[in-house]
Copies of this chain bind each other. A is one copy, B any other.
């Protein structure tokens, strides 16, 4: 099965990468940008074929490796 994981910074956590993008867009003439936040997007191709098991395994991966749960949220989508 395939799983898609979105890892985003929690609200209130500073996002210097997003700020840099915002400034760069402004410098290019895009002046209607209120805010930019950058996160990570990970696509996993797993041998597991049961959706529930896949969800559980990917959740464990997120907690153990993919995300820093102190400052980041993760969202899992099984496809």
Contact = CB atoms under 8 A, between A and B. Distances in A.
Contacts of A60: 30
A14 interface: no
B6 A32 contact: no
Interface in A22-73: 24-25, 28, 30, 32-48, 57, 60-61, 64-66
Contacts of A21: 42, 65-66
B46 A37 contact: no
A30 B44 CA distance: 12
Contacts of A30: 57, 60-61
A64 B24 CA distance: 10
Contacts of A44: 33, 35-36
